[in-house]
Every structure is written in C-alpha cells, then in structure tokens.
Amino acid sequence: MPLLTAAIRGDLRAALEAEVRDAARAMRRGVERAGREVQAELRAQARAAGFSDRGRAVANAWRLSLYPPPAAAPRTLRPAALVWTNAPRLVDAFDRGIPIVARGGRYLAFPTPYNAAGGRRGASARGGLRVTPAQMQAARRDAFVIRSKSNPSVRLWCLRVRAASGIARRARRLRLFVGPNAEILTGRRRGQQQRTREILAQGFVPMFFLLRQVSLRKRLDVAALRRRAPGILARALAAELGRRA
C-alpha cells in the first residue's frame, strides 16, 4: 500500500504558460526600468555639463527604445532596451573632448553677439542669426576679414554699416543696418545709443569670429555609465522579479 500519492490537478500547460507570461512581464518591466534610469542619468549629465542652453538640446536627444514595443504583448524572456541619441556626433565630440578643425585650410565661423537676432541672449545658438555665412559671402565688397587685436589667432568677419536712420517719435535713437538690410543693436540696454554711435563712426561690425580650430572640453562621460549599466540592469531585474515572488 503506497504511503504517498500525488496528482496534478488542472491544466499543467496552461499553468506553465501563465508562469512564463508573468516572468516575461517582470523582465520587461525590469529592462524598461533600467533603460529609463540610464536615460535619466545621461540627460542629467547633459544638463550639468555647462552648455549654453542648460543642456536641454543634448539631454532631450537621448531616447529610449524598448523591445518588444510597449503595445506588444511581452512574450519573450529576452527583452531589450536601447538608449540612443539623435545627436551622436555632438555627444561623441563632448564625450571625448576632441579638437574640431576646419577643412581645406578654411575657418570655423562663430556668430558674435551683434549677430544674435532680436538682441536676445543665446538667440544665435538657436539658429536666430541676423546674417548667415552664405549672406556674408554674397555681400562681397561689404564683407571683409581683419585680425583681432586682443587675440591674433582669431579673425573677425565684418560687414560695413550700410545705413543709419532715426525714428520720428524717438529721434535720438539711431538704427544701424548692415549686409542684406539687417538691423543690429536693437536692444534697450543702458548706453546702447552711445555704442550705436561708436559703431557708426567705426563704419563696420564684426559678425563672425573665425578660427582654424577649436578644442572641445570633455563635458560628458558616457563610457562610465556604460560600465555601470549591467549593474543597473541586474538590480532592476531582481527588484521586478522579486515583486512576483
């Protein structure tokens, strides 16, 4: 007479499939959790790197892709998360701190504060230039290059003042125009009119700094986070699998 008997009740296959689905969901959550943590750290790096826009552009360029996609059923025990950037060259440059050299013996052009549209600080960084390099080239005789007095390695790409006019209601305010009818010095800062008169007497305005090369300071450390990523994933998986135990 047997001392112990055992029997399986219910559908064993269905029970095993349910167990696999639960494990797949937990692993999917763990991979997503790790991916979002890595993405958040990379974005925090960019915001703390000292970029002129407080790192918003580089931070927002970091994206997260999940496999299977969120809308799909998590039927795999091998989910994946890909953290990537849509500005890979920019990230690589600031991750390695490399020099940028102009091709063919030419110059790199950087807008001066006179070339910021609307007189807004940082406008040139957002693409709001009064005059573009192509317009400078088209200006021909109105555009010329001189050496900077403060730094001999820097050239100044200048435009001659083409016109000056006053405003009827505010006759004391001068308006200066350069290049393709671009107005400069449009702000309302103290001493602006004196500066306007000095530029008018000078007869030209530096619109771009020209340099042969610039050395980018290392501001990001993607490799360090890459080395830590396996540990982040392991902790996230352990936490999510532990929730279903």
Segment 39-60, tens digit of pLDDT? 999 999 999 999 888 899 999 9
Local structure of residue 116 (DSSP, 8 states): B
What is the predicted pLDDT for the residue at 46?
95
Assess whether pLDDT exceeds 70 at residue 133.
yes
Confidence of residue 226 (pLDDT cuts 50, 70, 90): very high
What is the overall mean pLDDT for the chain?
83
**Residue 213: count of CB within 10 angstroms of its CB:** 11
Share of the chain above pLDDT 70, in %: 83
Q: Provide the sign of the torsion angle of the four alpha carbons 36, 40, 41, 43, taken in this order.
A: positive
What is the predicted pLDDT for the residue at 130?
85
Whether the full predicted model's pTM is greater than 0.85, yes or no, is no
Burial (CB count <10 Å: 0-12, 13-18, 19+), residue 49: middle
